[in-house]
Amino acid sequence: MEESQNGSTVNRRKEILQKLYKNGQVIISELSKEFNVSEVTIRNDLDQLEQKNMLLRARGGAIKLENNVGVDQRISEKNKIHYVEKVAIGKSAAALISENDTMIIDSGTTTAEMVKHMQSFKSLNVITNAMNIVNMLSGYPNINVIIPGGYLRQNSMSLVGPLAEKNLRSFHVDKVFLGVDGFDTRNGIYTPNMEEAYLNEIMIEIANEVIVLADSSKFNKKSLAFICPVNKIHTVVTDAGISAEDKKRLEDLDVKVIIV
pLDDT of residue 174: 98
Q: Are strands 188-191 and 151-153 parallel, antiparallel or unpaired?
A: unpaired
Buried b / exposed e across 4-27, counting CB within 10 Å, b at 16+?
A: eeeeeeeebbbebbebbbeeeebb
Average pLDDT, the chain: 89
pLDDT in tens, 190-248: 998 889 999 999 999 999 999 999 999 899 988 888 999 999 999 999 999 999 999 99
pLDDT of residue 238: 97
Mean per-residue pLDDT, 119-123? 96
| Better-predicted residue by pLDDT, 68 or 37 | 37
Q: What whole-number distance in Å separates Cα of residue 231 and Cα of residue 211?
A: 12
Q: What is the SS3 assignment for 189?
A: strand
Lowest mean pLDDT among 29-33, 128-132, 136-140, 192-196: 192-196
**How does residue 7 score in pLDDT terms, banded at 50, 70 and 90?**
low
pLDDT of residue 2: 44
- Phi and psi, residue 161, nearest 5°: 105, 180
| Better-predicted residue by pLDDT, 246 or 25 | 246
